[in-house]
Chain A
Amino acid sequence: AQSVTQLDSQVPVFEEAPVELRCNYSSSVSVYLFWYVQYPNQGLQLLLKYLSGSTLVKGINGFEAEFNKSQTSFHLRKPSVHISDTAEYFCAVIENGNTGKLIFGQGTTLQVKP
């Protein structure tokens, strides 16, 4: 069965510093990968996705992620964070051919400090 592990539950970082939020998945078939962001008391917003093609995908708000098939990882990065990036970040996967069932990781709280 597929699963998603976000290796850090909380990531504190100072403003303008780079950040990486780690995500690993397990699946026996090919997958589609997603990162969603949830700001406090708000819904889930799609940051970026990997469906096929280039393994480096760029998303909104300056975020990017790299799909690494051999390491089954899809880490999220941003070279310089802002206070406004403080939020909960979720990695998610759909198995190729599956019926639209998103499997989510546990979430990572990004805390950007001034």
Chain B
Amino acid sequence: DTAVSQTPKYLVTQMGNDKSIKCEQNLGHDTMYWYKQDSKKFLKIMFSYNNKELIINETVPNRFSPKSPDKAHLNLHINSLELGDSAVYFCASSQSQRNTIYFGEGSWLTVV
């Protein structure tokens, strides 16, 4: 069983489109995250939710909107996609905000 699963794994879309990436964790964790890995492989946190409450909101354009319907899910919706949004987006989870963070397999987003 995959602990943190995200879909789709690969996504190619045109500029201006709106897309969503879904994430689910079956670890029973109360905290979930979205991280972005750019073309130089640099990883940076975007958002974090604890018990469905937004805890961390880094400097991310308003076009990015996370949604957490319950503790086990954290989806990422992106409006009006731009070329610069091309990256790998990682979902992750942990039990509380001070414990080990476990990552999903990543979603490779390419905007053309």
Contacts and interface: CB of A to CB of B under 8 A. Distances in A.
Main secondary structure of the interface of B (DSSP, over half): strand
Interface stretch (A14-22, A65-73, A100-108): A100-108
Given A42-B106, A43-B90, A100 B42 contact: no
Interface of B: 31, 33, 35, 40-45, 48, 50, 55-56, 90, 92, 94, 96-106, 108
A44 B44 CA distance: 13
Contact of B48 (A41, A45, A97, A99): A99
A37 to B, nearest CB: 11
Contacts of A101: 45, 48, 56
Contact of A99 (B42, B55, B100, B104): B55
Nearest to A102: B101
Contacts of A45: 103
A94 interface: yes
Nearest to B108: A41
B11 to A, nearest CB: 14
Contacts of A63: none
Contact of A44 (B40, B56, B103): B103
Given A99-B97, A100-B97, A107-B42, A36 B55 contact: no
